[in-house]
Amino acid sequence: MFSKSRIQEPGPKATEPAADVPVAKGSMDYASTTPKTKPPASVLSSDLTVTGNIKTSGDIQVEANVEGDIRAHLLTVGEQATIKGEIVADDIVINGRVIGRVRGLKVRLTSTARVEGDIIHKTIAIESGAHFEGSVQRQEDPLSNGKPAALAAPGAVDAV
């Protein structure tokens, strides 16, 4: 079952740590053992009413009613959701209702979308059946905090 000849083979064994890498007894190298997967999207369910701003660096799916601004990496607005406020994200998919400004690199309004407000985007897709009231403006960097020149009041000066 066991043989000494196997133990005396030169080079590190597959089950042994390399000689030049110290490993504490009982410790694991989590960087190599944990898969590098993206965390799942946060979900705000339809039974919620949220009053206030939401900010995440991850993905979020909103099925709730939200009164406030939302900032995320990927934002999906569910068919039954209503958002009253500004939404800003790299990638935005709107299936429900948004009342307020939309700013995103990629913005998609599906056939069930209802948007009342301006959309500032780098790329946009509007499916047949979507309802939209507002203006659409393309910008290279729609995520910047400054107001676009076309939407600023004439003669207005932004304080720095």
SS (HEC) of 110-132: CCCCEEECCEEEEEEEECCCCEE
| 121/149 Cα distance (integer angstroms) | 14
Could you give phi then psi for residue 154, rounded to 5 degrees?
A: -60, 135
Answer whether residue 104 is part of any domain: yes
Query: Range of 127's domain?
Result: 42-138
Nearest to 100 by CA among 88, 114, 87: 87
- Whether 114 shows a pLDDT value over 60: the answer reads yes
Answer whether residue 67 is part of any domain: yes
- Distances in whole angstroms, Cα of residue 98 to Cα of each of 7, 56, 65, 86, 91: 68, 19, 10, 8, 15
pLDDT value of residue 37: 74
- Cβ–Cβ under 8 Å, residues 95 and 78: yes
- Whether 141 shows a pLDDT value over 50: the answer reads yes
| 50/65 Cα distance (integer angstroms) | 6
Answer whether residue 12 is part of any domain: no
Q: What share of the chain is helix, strand, coil (3-state, %, to 5)?
A: 5, 40, 55
Place 105 in a pLDDT band, splitting at 50, 70 and 90: very high
Answer whether residue 62 is part of any domain: yes
Answer whether residue 121 is part of any domain: yes
User: Which tokens sit at 7?
Assistant: 């133990």
- Whether 144 shows a pLDDT value over 70: the answer reads yes
Answer whether residue 156 is part of any domain: no
- The more confidently predicted of residues 4 and 42 is 42
- Whether 96 shows a pLDDT value over 90: the answer reads yes
Answer whether residue 48 is part of any domain: yes
pLDDT digits (tens, 9 = 90+) for 48-74: 999 999 999 999 999 999 999 999 999
The tally of domains found in the chain comes to 1
CA 51 from chain center: how many Å? 20
Answer whether residue 19 is part of any domain: no
- Whether 77 shows a pLDDT value over 60: the answer reads yes
| 27/73 Cα distance (integer angstroms) | 34
- Whether 88 shows a pLDDT value over 60: the answer reads yes
Place 76 in a pLDDT band, splitting at 50, 70 and 90: very high
